[in-house]
Structure 1
Amino acid sequence: MSAENPQDPTEIRCKEESKGGLKFDVIIADPATSPPKRPSSPKDKDLTAEEIEEKLKAAEERRLSLEAKKMAQIAAKLSKIEEASKNKDEQMSEFIAQTKEALEQKMESHIEKREAYLTDVKAKLKDHLVGVEKSRQILEQQTEEVRNAVEEKLKSAAAQRDENIKKMLERLKEHEKRAELVRQNKERLSTQPQEEITSSA
């Protein structure tokens, strides 16, 4: 960066040396060559020491005035550069603050969404576990009912079997009794004709 004035030989150069730092080079041009001296009039040869001192004093004042003017111009240019640098720093600080705020908001939103997701997952898992527990209880109840029904049927079947066996035994006994009666009748009938023959003789 450089600032020049066609009427001012002074030059200020500014460049960024490193991040966040600026370097200023102030170049003051060589003084302009003095205009050619006019031929001294006869009066100049007769200047007194006091007049010469006044002229030197006036020349010194002009020189000091020019230097003061140059320094004021340099100070104004430096002030503009410093103001530009300050504005740049302020813009950078504002950008950093806005970026930080946006990032924090994004992180907060992400955390809120993550917490909401975890809460939803926990609720669904809890509902699932409740459903599983209910299904387990229903299955246990049904299993118990089936077991009781099977045991009841087995008991009923055993009782029916015992009853059938008892009836079969009773029938066998009845059959044996009848068979015994038939046998006895046959024996009696078989012996009766012999007795009749004997008695008739």
Structure 2
Amino acid sequence: MASADNESTEIRCQERSKGGLAYEVILADPVTDTPPKRPTSPKSTSAENIEEKLKAAEERRMSLEANKMAALAAKMSKIEEASRKKDEQANTFILQTREALEQKMETHVEKREAYINDLKAKLKDHLESVEKTRLSLEQQTNEVKSAVEEKLKTAAAQRDENIKKMLERLREHEDHVERVRNGMQEKITQLESQIQQKLDLAQQRREEMEREQLEKLRNHERRAEMVRQNKERLSSQSEEQHTASSG
């Protein structure tokens, strides 16, 4: 456009960044660089209008930039809040799982100790019963011996025959006592073996439970680590986008 001093003015518009415009004003030399004259108009843009448009464009660019920064900050805030909640949930789950595992272990130990105590009580009762039977057999043996001795004193005529019979009965009785004692000892050995097998089985089950619970905890911690890495990657990407937009 031409001004009142007949100087040629050229206005160039260039888009500098998204949402903003930059204007370049070139004053041409009337002698060496005079563009074709255009008809003047009372509504032509003056230098003041151009300056105002430049300021308005800059303000719009700054406003858009501020809106972008605000939106990015809000997005980062939401991501951080979601990550914080996930971390809190993960920590709560780990704590609850650990407490539940400890409670299960305590309950298992209490049940195992009660079971062992019950087996010991049963074994004690059985041994007491065996001891009573042994004492009773010994008492019977002593009574038989006393009877034999008494009969030997009072039955002189049939002493030899009676002694032979009584000794035979005594041997048979002692053999019976020995068989009973051996049978009881075998039962006691079997019972002790069964108790030990049950104790070993209970120990194996407890160790399997511990391994399963520990594996669950490790899996959960690995998932928590993946969530944390994803959070750091999103944060890094957001920072790179912010740096790129600022540049």
1:173 aligned to 2:151? no
Match of 1:59 in 2: none
1:55-75 CA-partner distances (Å, limit 9, x unpaired): xxxxxxxxxxx9xx99x7223
- Separation in 2, partners of 1:124, 1:31: 87
Inter-partner Cα distance in structure 1 for 2:26 and 2:119:
108
The letter of the residue matching 1:173 is S
Residue 53 of structure 2 aligns with which residue?
Answer: 80
The reply to whether residue 30 of structure 1 matches residue 29 of structure 2 is yes
Q: Which of 75, 84, 93 matches 1:102?
A: 75
User: Could you list the per-position Cα deviations for residues 57-110 of structure 1 after superposition, in whole angstroms to 9, with x for gaps in the alignment?
Assistant: xxxxxxxxx9xx99x722322321221122111101111111111110121122
Q: Which moved more, 1:158-167 or 1:122-131?
A: 122-131
Identity %: 20
**In 2, distance between residues paired with 1:129 and 1:186?**
79
Aligned residues: 145
Deviation at 1:6, TM superposition (A): 8.1
Residue 177 of structure 2 corresponds to none
Change (3 A) 1:173 1:185: same
1:90 aligns with 2:63: yes
In the alignment, residue 135 of structure 2 is paired with which amino acid? D
CA RMSD of aligned residues (A): 3.6
Kept after mapping to 1: 8 A contact 2:12/2:25: yes
Letter in 2 for 1:29: A
SS class of match (1:27): strand
Ranges of 4+ aligned residues in structure 1 off by more than 6 Å: 14-18
**Higher RCO by CA contacts (8 Å cutoff, separation 6 or greater):** 2
Partner residue, 1:118: 91
> Aligned-pair distance for 1:178?
3.2
The answer (yes or no) to whether the contact 2:22–2:57 under 8 Å persists in 1 is no
2:115 alignment partner in structure 1: 142
The answer for unaligned runs of 5 or more in structure 1 is: 34-65, 188-201
Amino acid at match of 2:157: N
Is the aligned partner of 1:153 residue 2:152?
Answer: no
Distance 1:186 1:157 in 2: 38
Structure 1's 31 and 107: CA in aligned 2 closer, same or farther, altered over 3 A?
Answer: same
Query: 1:186 and 1:167, CA in 2 relative to 1: closer, same or farther beyond 3 A?
Result: closer
Contact between 2:14 and 2:23, CA under 8 Å: does it hold in 1? yes
Q: Unaligned stretches of 5+ in structure 2?
A: 33-39, 160-247
Q: Is the 8 A contact 2:14 2:22 kept in 1?
A: yes
Aligned twin of 1:185? 157
Structure 1 residue 24, shift from structure 2 partner: 6.7
CA distances 1:104-137 after superposition (whole Å, capped 9, x unpaired): 0121122113212322332233233223212211
SS where residue 157 of structure 1 aligns? helix
